[in-house]
Structure 1
Amino acid sequence: MGNLIKAEFRKTLSLNTWWVLLIPLVILAFGFSFVWGWITNDFVGYIGRGTAGELASSFGIDPNAFPVGLLSIAHGVNIATLIPAIFGVFALAGEYGNRTITTTFLTAPDRGLALTAKMIAYLVWGVVYGVISFGVAALATLITVDSSGLPSGGQWLGAFGGTILVSVLVMLFGIGFGAVLNKVTLAVVLLITYFLIVENVLVFSLWNVTNVLGGILPNGTANGIVGGIAADAFGIDTLNLPGTVDVWTQYGLQLAAGAPGVLSWWASTLIFLAWTLLFFVGGWAANQRRDIT
């Protein structure tokens, strides 16, 4: 198994994909955290003094003391999670496209061990991408957010852990999604289109009817891991939001955390884990039977 894992790292490091994808990851994480840090630095002005006062009173704090830096981090991290998902697509679908999958399977004792080695290698890559994503988002937050709005030590650690977790999960999601479709271009286009457009339009257009979609669909639940940590800190996750807040104010508040419809960070983690397992196991099963000749 050790040799198979080493082989996986050699394959990824021999290609430019791993570092080329770091460029948009850094740009997206920094850019979105910078913009949202600047916007939500005046959180009271962003949501209105009445709503801010209502939320603050439930916490017993000054409305100006909210840790708005968490909102900045959540936006940068959430948009950047698309990059490890795309990288994951190349794990299996890319090998089929480049016709290197035959060598991969024939040099391993069986396909199960080959796929396990690939999964372990990409778990490590997920951690690497998560560390970089968080570091860049944190830097943008420190630049734009006033010291009074920065997260506490525990909140920094929570956001860091959440970023690592979601980066690993979306990497595995991308592997499974690419393995099921078995076409790199098709998988990447569909992934970007769905995560950035389709689901967001669906959640927004049906918000008056139901706010549950953002809490159960793949993009919403992926965003809801770090976004849920931010939402929990403000009491604006769906499980804790004051009942007096109207539906569109709820949307605006949860949008500030980067995850409209978020239930809580732990619920989002469990639901997105289920989506990840669905695609990963499906891709695993498909590749146990797929012809490699």
Structure 2
Amino acid sequence: MHTLIGTELLKLRTVRSPWLLLAASPLLVTAGVSGLVVSDDKPLDTATQSGALAHVGLTSIFTLVFGILAVAGEYRHKTITDTYLSTPARGRVIGAKLVVYAVCAAVSGVVSSLVGLGVAAAWWADKAISFAWTDSHMWATIGGGIAWNAAFAAIGVGVGALIRSLVGAIAVALAWVALVEGTVGQLIGNLARWLPFNAGQALGAGANAMTSGSLLPRSGGGAVLAGYTLFFAVLAVTTSMRRDVS
């Protein structure tokens, strides 16, 4: 397994697109934190701090696509045959991808968190307001956002294994988030709380969002998202083992 993990890391180092994708995450956090401060008339208190850092979790959209690239990207570039010929144990190959892409997504979440903290602290200082570094709600939000990033990368690996077309897999994933959970979810009320993106939102939500009643508790969102992650990880392994490459 160590060799396979090293191979996956080598593959990542030789292509640009995954890193360009993850590089957009700190930019999104910077824009989100700055936009919240500029457009919101609310006082810059601890609840606003956790709300600003909740943008870390929203970068999971990028890590979802990042995970899809792990398998669907290989099918698009026709390197998947060589991968499976060099290591016929397909389950181990997918397992290595799950580990590498989830860890990279978590690291991306950490980087985005550090950028978000720096930007938020700068805005607070500009407003002559002390930044509450010890606020537990803010750190829980950051931790939840990092975990959300890692989980969505693993889910992306499963989606990429199920839908081998790179464009098709990305389109389906984004349509699910935007249409099913974003639009249809509003029509089915509390049931929407149990869907993957909403569960992630509960895990990485700010203090104000947690009290809105529209999301699961943070622990509940984490448990539900862990269940989806495990399901898609198993799906990625079983699908890759049973289906032909061509």
Same fold (TM over 0.5): yes
2:115 aligns with: 136
The Cα offsets for residues 145-182 of structure 1, whole Å up to 9 and x where unpaired, read as 45357463433432332222111101001111111111
Call closer, same or farther: CA 1:149–1:193 in 2, change over 3 Å. farther
1:27 and 1:89 map into 2 onto residues whose CA distance is 21
Which structure is larger by alpha-carbon Rg, 1 or 2? 1
Q: Which runs of 5+ in 2 are unaligned?
A: none
TM-score by length of 1: 0.75
Q: What is the number of equivalent residue pairs in this alignment?
A: 243
Deviations 1:95-122 (A, max 9, x none): 1121111121121251122122222211
Are 1:275 and 2:228 matched, yes or no?
yes
1:169-188 equivalent positions in 2, closer than 5 A: 169-188=151-170
Decide whether aligned partners of structure 1 residues 12 and 66 sit closer, same or farther in structure 2, where only a CA change above 3 A counts: closer
Please report the TM-score for the alignment, with normalisation by the length of structure 2: 0.88
Q: Percent identity?
A: 24
Counterpart for residue 73 of structure 1: 53
Find the aligned partners of 1:276 and 1:123 in 2 and give their Cα distance: 10
Structure 1 CA distance, aligned partners of 2:41 and 2:50? 11
Q: Which residue of 1 aligns with 2:197?
A: 219
1:19 match:
19
Pairing 1:102-251 to 2, within 5 Å after superposition: 102-108=81-87, 110-145=89-124, 147=129, 150=132, 152-204=134-186, 206=187, 210=189, 212-227=190-205, 230-231=207-208, 236-238=211-213
- Check conservation: 1:32, 1:79, Cα contact below 8 A: no
Q: Name 1:38's counterpart in structure 2.
A: 38
**Which 10-residue stretch deviates more, 184-193 or 20-29?**
20-29
- Report the Cα offset of residue 216 of structure 1: 0.9
Moved more, 139-148 or 156-165: 139-148
3-state SS in 2 of match to 1:68: helix
User: What 5-or-longer segments of structure 1 have no aligned partner?
Assistant: 44-63, 239-260
Q: 1:198 to 1:73 in 2, by over 3 A?
A: same
In 2, Cα distance between equivalents of 1:151 and 1:39: 23
For residues 142 and 193 of structure 1, what CA distance do their matches in structure 2 show?
35
Bigger drift between 264-273 and 141-150 goes to 141-150
1:272, distance to aligned residue in structure 2 (A): 1.5
Paired residue type of 1:196? A
Q: Which amino acid aligns with 1:187?
A: A
Report the CA distance between 1:87 and its aligned residue.
0.4
